[in-house]
Amino acid sequence: MRRMEADVVVIGGGATGASVFRDCSLRGMQAILVERGDIASGTTGRNHGLLHSGARYAVTDSHSARECISENKILKQIAGHCVEATDGLFISLPEDGLDFQQQFMQGCADAGIHAQELSPKQALQLEPAVNPALIGAVRIPDGTIDPFRLTSATILDAREHGGALLNYNRAEGLLIEQGRVQGVRCRDLRNGEQFEIRCQAVVNASGAWCHEIMEYADLSVDMYHSRGALLIMGHRMNGMVINRCRKPGDADILVPGDTVSVIGTTSTHVGRDELETLEVTADEVKTLLQEGSKLAPSMLDARILRAYCGVRPLVAESSSGGDRSISRGLVAIDHGEQDGLPGLVTITGGKLMTCRLMAEVATDKVARLLNISVPCETASRPLPGAHLPEPIGRKMRQGQSRYRLPDSSLPNSIAGSAVYRHGDRARSFMQEDDHHNNAVVCECEVVTRGEILYAIETLNARSMSDLRRRTRVGMGPCQGEMCACRVAGLLASQQENGDEVLGSLQDFVNERWKGIRPVLWGDALRESEFSYWVQESLLGLSSLQPEGKAEDNRDLYHEL
């Protein structure tokens, strides 16, 4: 069996694992990250993208509120190209009354969150999409965060500091010898090969699946899997985040991000056997629309692009009050101290936006195990790409075109999108007179040929869906109808086995379809008919059989 060596192995390539990977690498440890799928393909790629100010938890969970506001300020400094400081409103509707607003103001003050009371007229002036029936509003420093970009930039930094990423590799066991964890047994999921990584410490950052890694060592944790569904609207409806000023409930946050707005979420307890079946139900869509349109009534007339859901990795101290009552605070376990099994650290709970803090806490524990005294730098050290040029104009309704590449004559639509997604690293693939690579392959999100190649060469993208996560290709209104085949051609030109790309294209189209199916009416239905015509009638996509996939070729569009 092939054997590798490292100081630390991190299991899980979500935002948490990526941040641990970076922190360990920056402190001089030789780190390897093992992820069974692509980076950010777990809960990290299935959330709301809200850069919490902490205000949501100000009344019910003061500890989480403090963690959020502190990390909110740090991420704005170190991850400029991953966040938008949009600010947010907490609005009170007639059915809510204003009593909660008073507790809310006090909670924000206690947690150190700047909160400014506004009149309904002021709120409507700031955010015209807000429900005009509101009776009160509070402005707070919420923002938006792109989970894919954050994870990708974090991994890039770790790799630039000596870390090694093994995506599409699953951890299948822990090597326990002489009473301590000494490594991980893994399998490469592309060729089935098993191998071992010997190390001094293992960090279990596998989110909603972290009980499975603990079971490899006969340990357990009381996870509370809380499933949440969300809808993506077809355009960016609001400039600021809009929240409901009441105790957290269903569909009470509308988050703008990139070219769209996202309404969510629901919250339902699910069993561990349901973690892989993430389909949004008709009831969830109904609830999201009914409740969401109370925040912004124009939602009822807007096109819905797709639906998706994710599972929160919460740890249940007590779930008697339902999952909204479980703390969103982080949980870090040194299994040497807790269970007498040194060499294993678990980090879970928390939130996307507290991933850096979670990593700092976990890496401190690892550093103690390895006798390393290098301090954590991640709170002050910017991520690759974070140095952004000054945005054009102050209003941020359309995020992408607000940047320009310094000293460049390229149109903002092209250069601005690249800078928006990759910050100052956009220079690596945008050259002034390189017309070939500056050609646009995805019109909705303005992704160029050069950006696709950069994602393949530098950001470890191996499949069509990986490219979507790195560049937003196929995430816009046409959902890949016009660009998917072009991108597949580009990917095939960079890979040895063209057949693999065909399978990856079919997976990509099926995945898009999965998200569209729950919202299939009106414009979404019309667009799907057109996609069917292009991809099936014109190109005959489902009849193209990639080698070895004949049985697995799910019926593309046949339900339509």
List residues binding ligand FAD (CB under 6 A): 11-17, 34-37, 41-44, 47-50, 52, 170-171, 205-209, 228, 230, 264-265, 310-313, 350-353
Instruction: Provide the minimum distance between the beta carbon of 529 and ligand FAD in the complex, in angstroms, as a whole number.
Output: 30
DSSP classification of residue 22: H
Query: Measured in Å, how far apart are the chain's first and last C-alpha atoms?
Result: 47
> Which residue, 354 or 438, has its beta carbon nearer to ligand FAD?
354
Give 67 or 424: the residue with its C-beta nearer to ligand FAD: 67
Answer yes or no: are the C-beta atoms of 84 and 49 closer than 8 Å. no
Do 297 and 242 meet the contact criterion of CB atoms below 8 Å apart? no
Q: Look at the block and give the residue holding tokens 């160029």.
A: 448
Q: Say if residues 90 and 245 touch (Cβ distance below 8 Å).
A: yes
Shortest Å distance, C-beta 123 to ligand FAD: 21
Q: What is the distance between the alpha carbons of residues 469 and 480, in angstroms, rounded to a whole number?
A: 13
Contact 80, 426 (CB under 8 A): no
- Measured CA to CA, the distance from residue 123 to residue 91 in angstroms comes to 8
Torsional sign, CA 445, 21, 74, 254:
positive
CB of 170 to ligand FAD, least distance (A): 4
φ, ψ dihedrals at 330, nearest 5° = -80, 155
Contact 280, 309 (CB under 8 A): yes
**Whole-angstrom Cα distance, residue 34 to residue 21?**
10
Nearer Cβ to ligand FAD, position 203 or 478?
A: 203
Nearest residue to ligand FAD, by Cβ distance, number only: 14
Write down the least CB distance from residue 523 to ligand FAD, Å.
Answer: 24
107 versus 207: smaller Cβ distance to ligand FAD: 207
CB of 206 to ligand FAD, least distance (A): 4
Exposure class string for 22-37: b at 16+ Cβ within 10 A, else e? bbbbbbebebbbbbbb
Residue 180 class from Cβ within 10 Å (0-12 exposed, 13-18 middle, 19+ buried)? middle
Q: Which is nearer to ligand FAD, 14 or 423 (CB)?
A: 14
Q: Please identify, using beta-carbon distances, which residue of 206 and 261 lies nearer to ligand FAD.
A: 206
Least distance (Å) between residue 254 CB and ligand FAD = 11
Please, what is the minimum distance in Å from the beta carbon of residue 135 to ligand FAD? 26
Hey, which bits of 327-439 come out as E strands? 330-334, 344-349
Distances in whole angstroms, Cα of residue 260 to Cα of each of 255, 299, 408, 447, 546 = 9, 12, 27, 16, 34
Q: At its nearest, how many Å lie between ligand FAD and the CB of residue 55?
A: 13
Minimum distance from residue 212 beta carbon to ligand FAD (Å): 6
Half-sphere exposure (Cβ direction) of 98: Cα atoms closer than 13 Å: 9
Element (H, E) at 174: strand 169-177
* Closer Cβ to ligand FAD, 171 or 484, answer by number: 171
**199 or 419, CB closer to ligand FAD?**
199
Shorter beta-carbon distance to ligand FAD: residue 404 or 470: 470
